[in-house]
Amino acid sequence: MKTTDKIRRQLAEHPVILYMKGSPTLPMCGFSSKASAALKDAGFEFAYVDVLMNPQIMQALPEVSDFPTFPQLFVNGELVGGSDIVEAMLASGELQPLIEAAQETAKA
């Protein structure tokens, strides 16, 4: 299976997924730490992929997302953005309904 196909499968299987450096409990960069902390603090459930442990995904994901940096948050298979965008959307109230709708759809 091609790595891009694996990424597309992950995006289809997880309504909210964060591609990050490290894990939510042990982030390996400040930006990944900020993005995962924002999601956790807001009480959102999300899947994650540690791109440092999956270098093929780290290399191929920018092809899929057309976004060169990490972390990358996807909701319903669509790129939301990196840590600055996640924090700004959370602060403005835009992120909550987007994630809640994705999680409700996944439960249905």
Structural domains of the chain, with CATH: 3-103 (3.40.30.10)
Question: Which tens digit of pLDDT belongs to each residue from 7-44?
Answer: 999 999 999 999 999 999 999 999 999 999 999 988 89
Question: Which tens digit of pLDDT belongs to each residue from 89-99?
Answer: 999 999 999 99
Q: How far apart are CA 45 and CA 16, in angstroms?
A: 8
Q: Given this model, what pLDDT does residue 108 score?
A: 67
To the nearest whole number, what is the mean pLDDT of the chain?
94
Q: Given this model, what pLDDT does residue 96 score?
A: 92
